[in-house]
Structure 1
Amino acid sequence: MATKLLMSGNEAIALGAYEAGVALGCGYPGTPSTEIIETLVRRPDVYTEWSVNEKVALEVGLGAALAGGRALVTMKHVGLNVAADPLFTSAYTGVNAGLVVVTADDPSMHSSQNEQDNRNYALAAKLPMFEPSDAREARELTRAAFELSEAYDTPVLLRSTTRLSHATGVVEVDEDAPAPQRHPLGFERQPAKYVMIPSNAKRRRVDVEDRWARLREAVETHPANRVEPGSSDIGVITSGVPYEYVREVLPDAGVLKLGIVHPLPRRLVEDFARQYRTVYVVEELDPVIETQVRAWGIACHGKDVFPSIGEFSPGTLRAALGLPQPETIAEPAVEVPPRFPALCVGCPHGHVYNALRERGMVVSGDIGCYSLGVMPPYSAMDTLLDMGASVTMAHGMDAVLQGQPDRPPVAAVIGDSTFAHSGLTGLLNACWNQRDGLFIVLDNGTTAMTGGQPNPLSGERLGREDTMHLDYGYLARAFGIPEENFAAVDANNRKAVTAAIDDLAGRSGVRLLAVIGMCIIEAKDLKKIDKFVGKRDARKLELIEVDAHAHA
């Protein structure tokens, strides 16, 4: 029986992967992609996990695919930077079973530090890329991506954006359909294909070009690309969410709707363009499609008309085309004051920023809730680049400031999930190179900024199952940090936090401070508090005891 359901784009991608028979789903939580894995975990017959970072997730996914199980790997756009190393070489190895990598781009940077367009990764890595326009297509093109992946023995990228990931649409589901088969094909030993030493890679490079020639031909007739004839002399080439805006603003225009944005179907584009006097290419961010269309000698308008910055809207298109805007609702008479982002009221880690600011320390910051330390009332963060960079940038500062008479004290601040993601290697690098610095991990027992996912320091895994946790004390010993240069304190005890910062700031060498206090949002559940305190005590850290229930 067919049932119409309202789904977000993320939920629809998860559904499409499930229906395609995916055996494994993994990724690293990052807005706007997070809900894909959180939806897929509800399917007990699919193995799912949060991996420690995106590179690890892609390698886990590729291993599953080589063993014959279809795999879905998800991340936000900047996460693909972390996974770029295995991504490029996976184009050489191929996949055996289907491997689909979701990159969720963030035009307008709603929750990101940059606005990169990851269609450029498809070009650079010679990988096909699908781009849905709504939830229905998100489900359909995810299934199509798995089919293409296996048919051409290649990883396939699927690009979402914030608007698609979080907007909802109608998806028709057959509730009586049998569950898809997920029996792995098994691993076939093919070292010449899977072991990328130079001699093998040179042969596989030729295979990549042969595959690409076949893919260029396949996209000419692939149903993901379609022509919608129009009654005017205007033709529009578009893809993704902007397609929806084109249909609203230019209802009479002919439209070439691209569901596969790389490789582009040259003959289809040329035939379409010949039918219209004026051709527009409507795409958010970079002129990826426009550049290729112009390279084929096709006259078109693109970034000479439409902006290169930010996500589009119907209003954006109307303004760019000089069309009248619809009447809007009058502005309210009362001006609503802006609400600036800030750490949650009662966050146990806010005092760390106060203490660092009062001591005039240069603060190298990191991604997550703790990036809000740059905002009032703390105003205590000086740098923020990417995940894990707080540790390594503080390392670099120390290397050039060492010995300067007016050298400011430097501290790195990083959250627990980010520390596991990419802070550990930076800390090891600092220890190995005998640097000097205060490295502070603000451990709130969860990955708070993206919705409270577990991480390797929380003692839980996806699905809230208990598992191992990293012990800061043992870590410090393993990294060769002297006992006097390590401390772990209760974030709820401000005197203890201040005393630890003062003590460690006055020492030399690598110093590690773990400030442990449960996320105030998670602390609304008394059972979670009891569990958190139990895990904290199990770490054998000398923390000042607090009444956990008093902090609910």
Structure 2
Amino acid sequence: MKELLLGNEAVAQGLYEAGVKVVSSYPGTPSTEITEAASKFDEIFCEWAPNEKVAAEVAAGASFGGARSFCGMKHVGLNVAADPLFTMSYIGVNGGMVFGVADDPGLHSSQNEQDSRNYAIAAKLPMLEPSDSAECRDFTKLAYSLSEDFDTPVMLRLTTRVSHSRSIVEPGQRQELALKPYIKNPAKNVMLPAFAKPKHVSVEERTKKLAAWAETCEINKIEDNHSKTGVICAGIVYQYAKEALGDTVSYLKLGMVNPLPAELIKKFAATVDKLYVIEELDDVIETFCRKNGIAVMGKDVFPRCGEFSQHVIRRCMLHTEPETLAVQEDVPVRPPVMCCGCPHRGLFFALKRAKVFVSGDIGCYTLGASAPLSAIDTCVCMGASVSGLHGFNKARGTESEKKSVAVIGDSTFIHSGITGLIDIAYNRSNSVVIILDNSITGMTGHQQNPTTGYTIKGDPTSAVDLEALCKSIGIARVRVCDPYNLKETQAALKEELEADGPSVIISRRPCALLKYVKHKPSLVVKEEKCVGCRACLSIGCPAISMKNGKASIDRTQCVGCGVCTSLCAKGAITTEEAKA
């Protein structure tokens, strides 16, 4: 039975068919659905780890134990997992181990466009890159064979379009594998310098063998269309090129993007007069070609930044533009906003009123940087809000401590905020950290995390007590406020900024989109009381707009959170019953 699967779902199908036993990941768009889909197979133990480093180490431990394992992450998550990644390259595997990483050209949901192929090169690990869902399944299974045959972790690189597009997959049966025996072997598994030095030599020898395999493997293939123009590409770019150029060029489609096959590329280059390398982001393949004396056109023709498309390839190679129906009028932009009833809105309004420096973090609450709230000053990476606030205050002194805070979500705090808070307590800055506890990992689509009390499968488990945790690491002042209650939130913020010593405010209210949250009836505006002052617009709620000079509330969007009522000095915003 053929199925239409997301690329991420197809990877999960590949994990199932390959006999994988342990999957540990941290959710991150565009990789999240791999682990969510894998969790539906009872034969696979799946978990959400606190962060990507932990996930990689769990997968490494399962490999030591003789099981096939997987850890999945987005490209910036690979930065967090880099420490075990590099050392596992030296160690190798017992059971096969695969790192799945999803890059995000175009920054659809990310803070940078890094190209994970650079990690494969730096860590000297083989990397496969599928171009559609069928290859996602097939390359995943192949990765485990390579892992065990060459004693190496294998990296599987996807991009947003491969992860989130659908194509036909014909699912197969699971290969049940017995655990490989664990044999004590410090020279292989303990990376002391004396053991690591010869392992580096082994890694270089392994790379040579993998490069030789890449020369003849089926996933690196020439498509000869008897053209004097050739294109080298991989992944989703192959699909773009095929649609843009058709059979007018010949192709060298690379399924293994590290190590690259020098002789195969030379053989292909000899058949054409003009050779293009089309690759998103960095010039990895192009640089390899030039290093091996192969003349190519690459980033001198194609852009270095952003996501490619059929149109980009046509424009750069053929200098043509597609025929499109142009929109005659200027269409207003529609930037992302926090949802109606988002618990973070009231908190950010309070921060804006307080006129404080806000060290921000990664999550849906990062939208607090947008107008009209405009409440976040910085955003670097997961956990950086807490550490960054400490550094900001140490640089600027006591006066700054009374006018600055950090904001961080509950899942992000568990991911990498705890150590920053320990630094604040240990190295004594009077910093105020606000944990935005919305009872879920919201940004990536409502995944459980260690604070929610449920596993990835929805089974009850222990939940981190944030108040107790903060106190245990040396934060004496810990308090909870309800961000729907502006008066309470503003009072908490004022008192903690004025207090001596570090403190934590937990802004606690479940995400408005959680299924179990029961909303109040929508609010309405008494037009006779509304004076059109627009104060209610200052919180940026999508349900509130102006019509004929009066405030108006869209009852299909409003969840009755009541934050806007405290902004209306005329009492024009009320319930349907009160209006009647």
Could you state the TM-score of these two structures normalised by the residue count of structure 1?
0.92
Structure 1 residue 503, shift from structure 2 partner: 1.0
* Alignment match, 1:461: 455
Deviations 1:314-351 (A, max 9, x none): 100111113433322343x5654322211111112211
1:299 aligned onto 2:295: yes
Output the amino acid matched with 1:370. Y
* Alignment match, 2:28: 30
**3-state SS of paired residue (1:103):** strand
* Alignment match, 1:52: 50
* Alignment match, 1:534: none
Summarize the Cα distance change of 1:496–1:407 in structure 2 as closer, same or farther, 3 Å threshold. closer
* Alignment match, 2:125: 127
Once residues 254 and 43 of structure 2 are traced to their aligned partners in structure 1, the CA distance between those partners, rounded to angstroms, is: 33
| 1:486-501 map, 5 Å | 486-501=478-493
Structure 1 residue 457, shift from structure 2 partner: 1.1
1:410 aligned onto 2:404: yes
* Alignment match, 2:418: 424
* Alignment match, 2:311: 315
CA contact 1:93–1:196 (8 Å) conserved in 2 = yes
Structure 1 residue 210, shift from structure 2 partner: 1.5
CA contact 1:242–1:282 (8 Å) conserved in 2 = yes
Once residues 20 and 65 of structure 2 are traced to their aligned partners in structure 1, the CA distance between those partners, rounded to angstroms, is: 13
* Alignment match, 2:277: 281
Of 85, 88, 96, which residue of structure 2 is paired with 1:87?
A: 85
Of 348, 369, 388, which residue of structure 1 is paired with 2:383?
A: 388
Structure 1 residue 46, shift from structure 2 partner: 0.5
* Alignment match, 1:374: 369
More divergent stretch after superposition (358-367 vs 340-349) = 340-349
1:69 aligned onto 2:67: yes
List runs of 5+ in structure 2 lacking aligned partners: 520-558, 563-580
CA contact 1:360–1:408 (8 Å) conserved in 2 = no
* Alignment match, 1:10: 8
Of 102, 107, 123, which residue of structure 2 is paired with 1:109?
A: 107
Once residues 297 and 154 of structure 1 are traced to their aligned partners in structure 2, the CA distance between those partners, rounded to angstroms, is: 29
Equivalences, count: 522
Of 267, 270, 293, which residue of structure 2 is paired with 1:271?
A: 267
Output the amino acid matched with 1:351. G
**3-state SS of paired residue (2:298):** coil
* Alignment match, 1:359: 354
Output the amino acid matched with 1:278. K
1:206 aligned onto 2:204: no
* Alignment match, 1:540: none
CA contact 1:126–1:212 (8 Å) conserved in 2 = yes
Once residues 343 and 39 of structure 2 are traced to their aligned partners in structure 1, the CA distance between those partners, rounded to angstroms, is: 30
CA contact 1:41–1:48 (8 Å) conserved in 2 = yes
Output the amino acid matched with 1:320. C
Once residues 321 and 87 of structure 2 are traced to their aligned partners in structure 1, the CA distance between those partners, rounded to angstroms, is: 48
**3-state SS of paired residue (2:95):** coil
Deviations 1:449-487 (A, max 9, x none): 1000011111111111111111122113211222xx211
Structure 1 residue 396, shift from structure 2 partner: 0.3
CA contact 1:523–1:551 (8 Å) conserved in 2 = no
CA contact 1:441–1:514 (8 Å) conserved in 2 = yes
Once residues 475 and 322 of structure 2 are traced to their aligned partners in structure 1, the CA distance between those partners, rounded to angstroms, is: 64
Once residues 484 and 460 of structure 2 are traced to their aligned partners in structure 1, the CA distance between those partners, rounded to angstroms, is: 25
**3-state SS of paired residue (2:2):** strand
CA contact 2:128–2:143 (8 Å) conserved in 1 = yes
Instruction: Give the CA RMSD over aligned residues.
Output: 1.7
* Alignment match, 1:535: none
Output the amino acid matched with 2:273. R
Once residues 17 and 330 of structure 2 are traced to their aligned partners in structure 1, the CA distance between those partners, rounded to angstroms, is: 49
* Alignment match, 1:545: none
1:42 aligned onto 2:40: yes
Task: Give the percent of matched residue pairs that are identical in Structure 1 and Structure 2.
Answer: 46
CA contact 2:405–2:434 (8 Å) conserved in 1 = yes
More divergent stretch after superposition (12-21 vs 183-192) = 183-192
Deviations 1:57-104 (A, max 9, x none): 000001101111101110000000000011000001111111110110
1:522 aligned onto 2:520: no
CA contact 1:362–1:408 (8 Å) conserved in 2 = no
Deviations 1:373-422 (A, max 9, x none): 10122110000000000000000001111145x77611000000000000
1:444 aligned onto 2:434: no
* Alignment match, 1:536: none
Once residues 445 and 373 of structure 2 are traced to their aligned partners in structure 1, the CA distance between those partners, rounded to angstroms, is: 23
Output the amino acid matched with 2:449. N
Larger radius of gyration: 2
Summarize the Cα distance change of 1:213–1:102 in structure 2 as closer, same or farther, 3 Å threshold. same
Of 465, 468, 471, which residue of structure 2 is paired with 1:471?
A: 465
Could you state the TM-score of these two structures normalised by the residue count of structure 2?
0.88
**3-state SS of paired residue (2:216):** coil
**3-state SS of paired residue (2:170):** strand
Once residues 393 and 551 of structure 1 are traced to their aligned partners in structure 2, the CA distance between those partners, rounded to angstroms, is: 32
1:509 aligned onto 2:504: no
Once residues 235 and 408 of structure 1 are traced to their aligned partners in structure 2, the CA distance between those partners, rounded to angstroms, is: 63
List runs of 5+ in structure 1 lacking aligned partners: 528-548
Of 429, 451, 457, which residue of structure 2 is paired with 1:435?
A: 429
CA contact 2:401–2:497 (8 Å) conserved in 1 = no
Structure 1 residue 524, shift from structure 2 partner: 5.4
Deviations 1:179-206 (A, max 9, x none): 3204321322111111111111112111
Output the amino acid matched with 1:368. G
Deviations 1:210-252 (A, max 9, x none): 2111111111111111110022200111101010111122222
**3-state SS of paired residue (2:275):** strand
Of 145, 148, 151, which residue of structure 2 is paired with 1:147?
A: 145
Once residues 326 and 411 of structure 1 are traced to their aligned partners in structure 2, the CA distance between those partners, rounded to angstroms, is: 49
Once residues 275 and 371 of structure 1 are traced to their aligned partners in structure 2, the CA distance between those partners, rounded to angstroms, is: 51
Of 172, 175, 180, which residue of structure 2 is paired with 1:185?
A: 180
* Alignment match, 2:253: 257
Once residues 560 and 271 of structure 2 are traced to their aligned partners in structure 1, the CA distance between those partners, rounded to angstroms, is: 72
Structure 1 residue 526, shift from structure 2 partner: 4.8
CA contact 1:67–1:188 (8 Å) conserved in 2 = no
CA contact 1:476–1:486 (8 Å) conserved in 2 = yes
Once residues 304 and 322 of structure 2 are traced to their aligned partners in structure 1, the CA distance between those partners, rounded to angstroms, is: 24
